[in-house]
A and B are shown apart, each in its own frame.
Chain A
Amino acid sequence: MTSAKPLILSALVALLAVPAFAQDAQIAVAANFTAAAEELGAAFAEETGQTIGFSFGATGALYTQIIQGAPFDALLSADAATPARLADEGHSDGKSIFSYAIGKLVLFSTIEGLVTGPESLEGEFANIAIAEPAAAPYGAAAIETLDALGLTETLRSKFVIGQNISQTHQFVDTGNAELGFVAYSQVIGREDGSQWLVDETLYSPITQDAILLSTDNEAAAAFLDFLRSGTGTAIIESYGYAVAE
């Protein structure tokens, strides 16, 4: 068996030497954009041969990580405020900021017929899921909507709060909360359950901006350009986002 040792050793060294999962860029992405980002990443890899790694989270949480020095080459935020703030605070040059998508808020339930419109918020239910308003722009939009309808205080005791829009969706999707405010991109194309695409006059537009954080990463810059290309915008629109002109 001694003869096998050098072989195993060299195999190990070879494994360590090949960075099997090296990404050409690491990009922080707001949780609502998860599915779209993955499809965009795959399309981008096919077109350019470059791979992008994504880290998903609530925009506020990603912001905290970035100012603490997280190694992200770009941020796809769920709002316009966070990229602007990063630029103001000198973490990046504001010139790279652009709007890659305009998100829509939806009230969703896995229960058939439960959600018909704003009146469903006054119906019988025990839990309504929203994303943490302080960290997640979709959570802030949900509160804005409830404020506009004058229902925030009435419903406060029924809130269950997801750390980001993905956890919020998961609370609703597992049926633990009967309904919840999630991103339209998360439930687009679902035939089951019931949903109400929230009237866009009830909340400020969810303008989602991107910002480049590292100046020397070509793959990240190329990916941001790809978001604005015909292929990119078509994918983004297919997830129910509007794309800024």
Chain B
Amino acid sequence: MQLFWDIWPAVRLTVSLAFVTTVILLVLGTPIAWWLARSKSRWTVVVNALVALPLVLPPTVLGFYMLILLGPSGPGGWLASFWGARTLAFTFTGLVIGSVFYSLPFVVQPLRNTFAAIGKEPLEAAFSLGFDFRKAFVLVILPLARPGYLTAAVLGFAHTVGEFGVVMMIGGNIPGRTKVLSIAIFDYVEQLRWTEAHIVAFGMLIFAFFTLALTMGADRRASRLGP
């Protein structure tokens, strides 16, 4: 029971961080993914590579740049000065910014694939019915893209829950504010508190497994029903 209260702030923080990050990414990711799926511009190669960067970069690279950019001499510090703070590091906002970059490919890539799979026809059909783009997108494309959005949301959420390196570098390990579950496990291990480490680690293992199983189940159902 004591462990539950010890770990509860980290659980709440991790879930809020993953939730906020996922919502932002679904909103930001939609136009990026749409453009990547549709545009013939040669710039898609560049943007595709930029979006995929967090897949191959060590989180320490992202963490290092974040630490500088969020700090008093970077744009983060400038932004923070509007409410009288001097840095976005060590704050929830800072973690959200870091996580948005970190989980970007996990949201944009499934959306891009979905949009590409839907093809041009449904939109053209909607136009021929006199829909404008906004109406066509909301009434035709979004319902068709629902499985893609589900995958994007689950992967974005789960990947943010699994974030470690970036938070480690910009978080400052503050209980209830920036100490997420992955950091809590690291601390337990460092302090040889094996029991606590086991319980939390096993909890995350179960969470990750069921998340992935559910997504794959949903994927299978969706591909059986067709888009």
Q: How far is the CB of B22 from chain A (nearest CB, A)?
A: 26
Interface size class of B (residues with CB under 8 A): 20 to 34
Using an 8 Å CB-CB cutoff, how does the interface string of B76-93 with A read, 1 for contact, 0 for none?
Answer: 010000000111011000
A134 CB-CB contact with B under 8 Å: yes
Find chain B residues with CB under 8 A from A58 CB.
190
Bound-state Cα–Cα, A127 to B88, Å? 11
A175-B72, A176-B71 given; A64·B190 CB < 8 A: yes
Contact among A161, A175, A176, A178 for B173, CB-based, below 8 A: A161
Chain B residues with CB below 8 A from A127, complex form: 87, 90, 172
Kindly list chain A residues whose C-beta atoms are within 8 Å of the C-beta of B189: 64
A60 x B174 contact (CB < 8 A): no
Which bracket fits the contact residues of A? Answer: 20 to 34
The answer, yes or no, to whether A163 is at the interface (CB within 8 Å) is yes
Q: A64-B189, A64-B190, A64-B192 known; A174 and B71 CB under 8 Å?
A: yes
Note all chain B residues with C-beta closer than 8 A to A64: 189-192
B window 19-76: CB within 8 A of A: 67-68, 70-73
B192/A160 in contact, CB under 8 A: no
Say yes or no: is A132 at the interface (Cβ < 8 Å to chain B): yes
B168 at the interface (CB under 8 A from A): yes
**Chain B: which residue is nearest A61 at the CB level?**
B190
Tell me if B67 and A134 are in contact (CB < 8 A).
no
Asked whether A171 lies within 8 Å of B190 as measured between CB atoms, the reply is: no
Tell me whether A129 and B72 are in contact (CB under 8 A). Answer: no
Other-chain residue from B71, B72, B174, B190 in contact with A160 (beta carbon distance below 8 A): B174
Inter-chain contact A175/B73, CB cutoff 8 Å: yes
B189 CB to nearest chain A CB (Å): 7
Chain B residues, CB < 8 A from A159: 172, 174
- Find chain B residues with CB under 8 A from A167 CB: 169
Cα separation A35 to B172 with both chains bound (whole Å): 23
Bound Cα distance from A134 to B173, whole angstroms: 13
Residues of A within 8 A of B187 (CB): 132, 134
In the assembled complex, how far is the CB of residue A27 from the closest CB belonging to chain B, in whole angstroms? Answer: 20
Map CB proximity to B onto A94-134 as digits: 1 under 8 Å, 0 otherwise: 00000000000000000000000000000000110100101
Bound complex: CA of A60 vs CA of B187, how far in Å?
Answer: 10
A177 at the interface (CB under 8 A from B): yes
**A132-B173, A161-B172 given; A176·B191 CB < 8 A:** no
Q: Which B residues are within 8 Å of any A CB, using their own CB?
A: 67-68, 70-73, 77, 85-87, 89-90, 168-169, 172-174, 187, 189-192
* Chain A contacts to B: CB under 8 angstroms: 58, 60-61, 64, 126-127, 129, 132, 134-135, 159-163, 167, 170-171, 174-178
Q: Can you give 5 contacting A-B residue pairs, CB < 8 Å?
A: A64-B192, A132-B190, A134-B191, A160-B89, A174-B67
Q: Which 7 A-B pairs have the closest CB atoms?
A: A160-B172, A161-B173, A176-B89, A175-B72, A176-B87, A176-B71, A160-B90
Given contacts A60-B191, A64-B191, A176-B172, 13 further A-B contacts (CB under 8 A): A64-B189, A135-B191, A161-B174, A162-B172, A167-B169, A170-B67, A174-B67, A174-B68, A174-B71, A175-B71, A175-B77, A175-B87, A177-B172
